[in-house]
Amino acid sequence: MIKIWSMKAKEAAAEKKKPKTSAAQIRVQKDLAELEIPETIKLDFPDPADILNFNVIITPDEGFYKNGVFRFTFAINNNYPHEPPKVHCTQKIYHPNIDLSGNICLNILREDWKPVLSLHSVLVGLQYLFLEPNADDPLNKDAADDLRHSRRNFEANVNKSLSGGSFNGVNYDNVLA
């Protein structure tokens, strides 16, 4: 009888040591299970046990940024889905909606976030920024002005930046595949 009680006590102690699954983790698991993404988007989990922090790689197959490989970090806090994920570009790129520090101007990552949105919405939004950069809501005003006034000059600057070129005093990361 004493053996049974000691076994139950050990089981209870082991159960207490297990980290509880947060509501954010449950929602992220659901989002990931339902995720249907194109081949141009890849997810990477450096720590498979931590689904709240992961990397995303986007390789556009058309548009100005074709042949680039763009890397992002996603950090999801425990208030998800009530707060959007924190998304950051890890490379220095020439883009109207991504500044040189890697901050991203995507409305659903800020004021237009709603709990009904999912990781799929964010991934599609990021991919869309590479297909259709938005000069009307810029973080990089120089790139936005370039896009607004001369698409040809903008395209030349994007191509130069993709291969790690320098202009206007900025050295860009080589992001070509």
Tokens at residue 143, please?
A: 């790139």
Domain annotation covers residue 105: yes
Q: Is residue 10 part of a domain?
A: no
pLDDT at 177: 81
What the block records as the tokens of 169 is 């005093």
Total structural domains within the chain: 1
**6 lies in a domain?**
no
- pLDDT tens digits for range 10-20: 666 655 555 67
89: annotated active-site residue:
no
**pLDDT tens digits for 84-102?**
999 999 999 999 999 999 9
Q: Report yes or no on 26 lying in a domain.
A: no
Q: Residues near 137 by Cβ (< 8 Å), separated by ≥ 6? A: 97, 105, 107
Give the tens place of pLDDT for each residue, 127-169.
Answer: 999 999 999 989 999 999 999 999 999 999 999 999 999 999 9
Which of 105, 119, 147, 158 is catalytic? The answer is 105
The answer to whether 140 and 97 have CB atoms below 8 angstroms apart is: yes
Q: Is residue 162 part of a domain?
A: yes
Q: Residue 57 belongs to what domain range?
A: 37-171
pLDDT in tens, 44-83: 999 999 999 999 999 999 999 999 999 999 999 999 999 9
Give me the CATH number covering residue 125: 3.10.110.10
State the average pLDDT over residues 31-37. Answer: 93
What pLDDT is stored for residue 43 in this prediction? 97
**Does a structural domain hold residue 2?**
no
Burial, 89: exposed, middle or buried (Cβ in 10 Å; 0-12, 13-18, 19+)?
buried
Measured CA to CA, the distance from residue 101 to residue 10 in angstroms comes to 50
Residue 50, domain member (yes or no): yes
147 CA to centre of own chain: 23
φ, ψ of residue 72 to 5 degrees: the values are: -130, 150
114 assigned to some structural domain: yes
Cα–Cα distance between 155 and 137 in angstroms, integer?
18
